[in-house]
């Protein structure tokens, strides 16, 4: 059984303090046309400096009611488990099982004279069926299209992300063992394991959503599950332009960059939308090309017909059989790929990726964690050093310059919106320094009365270094128009 507690939303009491009346000076005529957005932005900034209000006394009564409801549902769950055969129930169709459970719950409520109405009985039956056949309390969250991330912090705390903002839900697990059983159900479905001897695991759901599990003793407050959901609606560059993630001109340049087979690195922080942008860029790949994707947990959703997805494998109980990213990149080079796409570059596989980009696999892509395009280059250089190959810094930087054409920086800003902040091109070398030039950058201008950031995607007006490549594909005029 899964318990849903009702969380109080009572506001802290506030007192109004009377202020002496003051005479306001007349507003000059030339100031009357200033937008109200400025005052709204100032008010929003002041609100951010206010301390968080403490819970009111009304929360105690609400928590008591929630505890009583939980106790009633616990009692029903215990009695229900005594009356059903779990092995038989797990083989029944969902609707048949739900109908039978509702009947049994109704009988228990009548016999025990419990206060549970028809709607609550229906909800309880749904929770029990989800627990038997699905992922328990997480099922309604997985069905909610507005949720992009689910974060379980032990049995009594579940957060979700909607529109870039984190909110606490009223969903509860029975206990820490309940959370652990759901985590094990997720990872065993993809042939992995999580327990005390192997407490960290990356996995995926059947729809491709990425899952990370960290269990005790590393997770002190109980098993933690982080789920990055995939939207059923495919995100394209045009949709991103309509949502304000990029401008129309940035959209055109990225389309051209994908079509002319530039090697692209997508850089950004955690949860900034790197994989979503990579999926959107991959839609520009010709359907006649052979693509090999390499990931720790397969989450890319390419629409081309000729895609070979590869996934790493952790070591077994004896510590053997591990297949890492570098092994897969080396093997991918023998698979006659037109393009190689790495879900995330985070180690010595960076060296093999650069070699692939330099040996005829134009149009390859990858993501990495960095806050700026310049930091992305530094991280890439450091990861090449992790390969254990003793190369001079200039040699590494020369190889990066010849392999990577474009770095697209994406960021999740404080209003929750993901925006591309830089489109940066690698031009060449001057001495030991990699020379880059920004084609576009996002310039912050303010904040509207709804808290959404206002800004402009500005073109630098520079002539793209890959103009000759675009001309080879007949797209040079379109590129110059977009700039």
Hey, where are the domains in the chain? 64-131, 134-231, 237-482
Q: How confident is the model at residue 33 (pLDDT cuts 50, 70, 90)?
A: very low
Cα 455 to Cα 34, 431, 437, 444, 448: the distances in Å are 18, 36, 21, 4, 10
Question: What is the mean pLDDT of the segment spanning 259-278?
Answer: 88
Close Cβ partners of 70 (under 8 Å, ≥ 6 residues apart): 3, 5, 172
**Model pLDDT for residues 147-172, shown as the tens digit of each residue:** 989 999 988 899 998 877 889 998 88
> What pLDDT does residue 348 have?
87
> What pLDDT does residue 32 have?
46
317 or 235, higher pLDDT: 235
> What pLDDT does residue 423 have?
92
Question: What is the mean pLDDT of the segment spanning 36-49?
Answer: 55
Question: What is the mean pLDDT of the segment spanning 284-308?
Answer: 84
E strands in 196-278? 200-204, 210-214, 224-228, 264-268
Asked if residues 277 and 343 have their Cβ atoms less than 8 Å apart, the reply is no
Token pair 């039978």 is found at 100
Nearest Cα to Cα of residue 210 among 302, 299, 84, 279: 299
Q: What is the DSSP string of 34-64?
A: S-THHHHHHHHHHHHTSPPPPPPTHHHHHHH
15 or 425, higher pLDDT: 425
Q: How far apart are CA 453 and CA 455, in angstroms?
A: 7
Question: What is the mean pLDDT of the segment spanning 353-381?
Answer: 88
Nearest Cα to Cα of residue 170 among 89, 245, 74, 62: 62
Res 51 pLDDT > 50 = yes
pLDDT above 90 covers a percentage of the chain that reads: 16
Mean pLDDT over each residue of the chain, to the nearest integer: 80
- The token pair at 51 is 């301390």
What is 134-231's CATH topology?
A: Beta-Lactamase (3.30.450)
Res 89 pLDDT > 60 = yes
pLDDT above 70 covers a percentage of the chain that reads: 85
> What pLDDT does residue 126 have?
75
Q: What is the DSSP string of 106-146?
A: HHHHHHHT----HHHHHHHHHHHHHHHHS-GGGHHHHH-TT
22 or 157, higher pLDDT: 157
Q: What is the DSSP string of 232-244?
A: SSPP-HHHHHHHT
**Model pLDDT for residues 380-413, shown as the tens digit of each residue:** 999 988 888 888 888 889 999 999 999 999 998 8
> What pLDDT does residue 68 have?
64
Res 76 pLDDT > 60 = yes
**Model pLDDT for residues 305-332, shown as the tens digit of each residue:** 898 989 888 877 777 788 888 889 888 8
How many DSSP H helices and E strands does the chain contain?
16, 17
Res 266 pLDDT > 90 = yes
In DSSP terms, which residues pair with 440 in a beta bridge?
A: 423, 459
Please tell me if the domain spanning 134-231 has the same topology as the one spanning 237-482: no
Q: How far apart are CA 363 and CA 337, in angstroms?
A: 11
Cα 122 to Cα 116, 171, 234, 267, 371: the distances in Å are 10, 17, 33, 46, 48
Treating both helix axes as pointing N-terminal to C-terminal, what angle do 58-83 and 94-112 enclose, rounded to 10 degrees? 110
Q: How far apart are CA 289 and CA 287, in angstroms?
A: 6
Q: What is the DSSP string of 358-383?
A: TTT-TT-EEEEE-SSHHHHHHHHHHH
Q: How confident is the model at residue 24 (pLDDT cuts 50, 70, 90)?
A: very low
> What pLDDT does residue 66 have?
54
Stretch (H or E) spanning 256: helix 248-259
First to last CA, the chain: 58
In this prediction the pTM is: 0.71
Superfamily of domain 237-482: P-loop containing nucleotide triphosphate hydrolases (3.40.50.300)
**Of 35-39, 93-97, 237-241, 460-464, minimum mean pLDDT range:** 35-39
User: CA torsion, points 88, 93, 99, 102, in degrees to nearest 10?
Assistant: 60
């Amino acid at each position: 059984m899964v318990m849903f507690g009702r969380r109080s939303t009572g506001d802290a009491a506030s007192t109004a303090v009377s202020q002496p009346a003051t005479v306001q000076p007349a507003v000059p005529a030339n100031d009357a046309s200033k937008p109200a957005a400025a005052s709204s932005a100032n008010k929003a900034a002041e609100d951010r400096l206010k301390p968080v209000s403490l819970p009111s006394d009304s929360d105690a009564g609400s928590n008591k009611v929630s505890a009583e409801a939980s106790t009633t549902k616990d009692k029903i769950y215990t009695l229900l488990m005594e009356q059903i055969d779990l092995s038989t129930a797990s083989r029944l169709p969902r609707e048949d099982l739900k109908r039978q459970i509702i009947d049994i719950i109704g009988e228990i409520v009548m016999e025990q004279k419990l206060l549970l109405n028809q709607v609550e009985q229906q909800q309880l039956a749904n929770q029990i069926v989800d627990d038997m056949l699905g992922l328990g309390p997480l099922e309604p969250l997985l069905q909610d299209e507005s949720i992009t991330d689910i974060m379980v912090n032990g049995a009594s705390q579940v957060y979700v992300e909607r529109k870039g903002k984190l909110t606490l839900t009223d969903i509860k697990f029975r206990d820490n063992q309940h959370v652990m059983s759901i985590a094990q159900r997720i990872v065993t479905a993809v042939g992995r394991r999580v327990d005390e001897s192997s407490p960290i695991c990356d996995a995926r759901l059947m729809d491709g959503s990425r899952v990370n599990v960290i269990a005790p003793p590393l997770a002190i407050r109980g098993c933690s599950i982080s789920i990055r959901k995939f939207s059923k609606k495919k995100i394209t560059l045009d949709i991103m332009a309509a949502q304000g993630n990029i401008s129309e001109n940035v959209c055109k340049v990225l389309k051209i960059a994908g079509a002319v087979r530039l090697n692209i690195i997508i850089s950004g922080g955690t949860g900034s939308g790197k994989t979503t942008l990579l999926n959107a860029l991959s839609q520009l790949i010709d359907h006649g090309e052979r693509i090999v994707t390499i990931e720790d947990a397969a989450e890319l959703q390419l629409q081309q017909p000729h895609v070979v997805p590869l996934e790493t494998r952790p070591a077994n109980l004896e510590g053997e059989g591990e297949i890492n990213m570098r092994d897969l990149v080396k093997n991918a080079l023998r698979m006659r790929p037109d393009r190689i796409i790495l879900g995330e570059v985070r180690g010595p596989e960076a060296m093999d990726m650069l070699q692939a980009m330099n040996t005829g696999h134009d149009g390859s892509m990858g993501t990495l964690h960095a806050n700026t395009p310049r930091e992305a280059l530094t991280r890439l250089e450091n990861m090449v050093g992790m390969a254990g190959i003793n190369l001079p810094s200039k040699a590494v930087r020369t190889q990066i310059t010849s392999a990577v054409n474009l770095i697209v920086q994406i960021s999740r800003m404080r209003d929750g919106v993901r925006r591309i902040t830089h489109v940066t091109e690698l031009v060449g070398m001057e001495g030991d320094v990699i020379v880059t030039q920004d084609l576009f950058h996002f310039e912050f201008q303010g904040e509207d009365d709804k808290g959404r950031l206002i800004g402009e995607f500005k073109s630098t007006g520079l002539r793209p270094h890959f103009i000759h490549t675009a001309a080879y594909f007949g797209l040079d005029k379109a590129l110059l128009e977009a700039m």
